[in-house]
Structure 1
């Protein structure tokens, strides 16, 4: 005969401004029989009885008068509690400016139970200045080794002193200052809300080695990055529909070619449907070495310091799905090369300095109802055994200074023969 044991739980209410916990008399489990342990120099209460289930708890951080006056101290305490099992904790940060000297870190799956929320009406009123990133390669929020972060929302994040200077044509960076605002490494996950600004980190958001950064409802704004604003690499994934990225370059050394608003690299995947990008040195949406980007309904507003870089930049077997998007004010509207592939259904490439679409070195582009107009070079430029198939596009490939199209014929170069490129234009 089965025995039914009642589920025991405690109702915990945090009293801000004191160390007291109030609980029901009948179910008072956090008594003298419980143990207090030290984890990372943070005290945490460990329940001593099985069947202990906590109710969601809210902690408050403010400049004065609260139990916690420092977001990092509250974070470490919340993560320490997770050591004893998942406990939903929301850290609410009051308006103010906070200097952050360490990384917000999670190496525990139960970190998914911890959220940090600032002002979701006006995130500019809760400012985190990360003062520990120059010369350390440190990050803002760092989930690794299977760690999770439940939710971050309502804050403005500023990297301090990693960036040296920014001009209309370039951005320079200090050495070993290549951290990310949000970094998910390995089988880890970070969830982002819709009221976030990330400024002056070398990477704004980075998903690496299978990490996942989820911001499916957008609202994340990233400015002043070095290599990439949003980067998914080594099978990492970023989901950020309706996000915004601007000002990205690393011109610290002569000949540097870094600076994409969004990039999928080395098998990474990035979803930036409905997003915007501008002021990039290399490209708005980039795919490299087998990475894939979902970038329909995207608006590319031009390169850094004028018509430089590319709207779409696809190389080395990278692929991009870019339907219903617009790219204006770049050196080239779309550059696909080295086996890269792009689908450009209903896209528009307007007023770029050189070609509207340039495909080379076994690259391929396909699309329907594409508008290519007002560009300084050819509407479509094919060479290096590349190909393009564009339906319902002939009438909208107009007013390009170089003409409708250029297609390289077969020939010999440096002792090697090559086949003709091919264009089907309807």
Structure 2
């Protein structure tokens, strides 16, 4: 049985989605220049070419507009386009450039005539400029204002064509096409930004959840410390008073009471240490779930295969420590992109395989036997895991093949032999 879904690699997560969205929308901007070629094609087939000066002015305005659209998209990724109720200068410049392109198209390009076949250069230029403008503004504006704004170039296109003597029906059709093109362009960008915003909010939610978990743990420790220390100090105070009163009377029971005070103090110290350390015996199923969460959070694809074997509690605890420390080493001392955890029972022994790629020796993080992974002072490195497994009759083996590292833990099953 396979549990868990592969997590995104290090290229995924918020950074991956943002990079993909940036590249996609940055690519959208040059498409404006490509669609202007349709206006050139329509002009070459049906109309008289404009003057060199007029064509040059229109070309410069179109290039400037594209550059400002690119700048607007870039700013919209990380900053709001409307700050304290006022448009940013780059937004004002982009809209102004769109107006300049529209005006020059009306002045420089020839009017459409009923004899022309297909769309006229003016309509195409206005539609493409509007689509590019609204697409850039979609990085910071909602779809409702963009929809209203798309009506403006559509209305201009319809009026210009009707004034030129074209039929009302064809003018409305072209105006509707202009509206749809601008809205489609803006909607595509807005959808991409919405996906990015959702991913960012999810990442922020995960960070908030982590901070809340820390705060909750602090509250638990504070509550437990209050209960443990308060109860212990109250008992110590009462017994100290009793022993002092007995000592004043020369009663030999004072020594017994002080012995009890010492025992209370030792037990309280042990309980306080347990509260501060948050100690609990690790559970294999819980550690496997935690391993999936930690590895996914680190951008490592994780796969857990097999069921938790039926072992005695001490053996389960030893396996749980192997999972905990092994996963910690994978996250801290490798550049892993994937990690497999497999559990199986064969030949009277339960085995836990932890395999990861991306072994990295650059940080010098190697255990005392030369295998990747730290050896800590409290014995939770490779050597410490061997000691834990040896205490329950198990073994720990490590192998490395290329950039893949395998941690194999084995313990005898109840009634079986390893």
TM-score when normalising by structure 1: 0.26
Which has more strand, going by share of residues?
Answer: 1
Q: Which has the larger radius of gyration?
A: 2
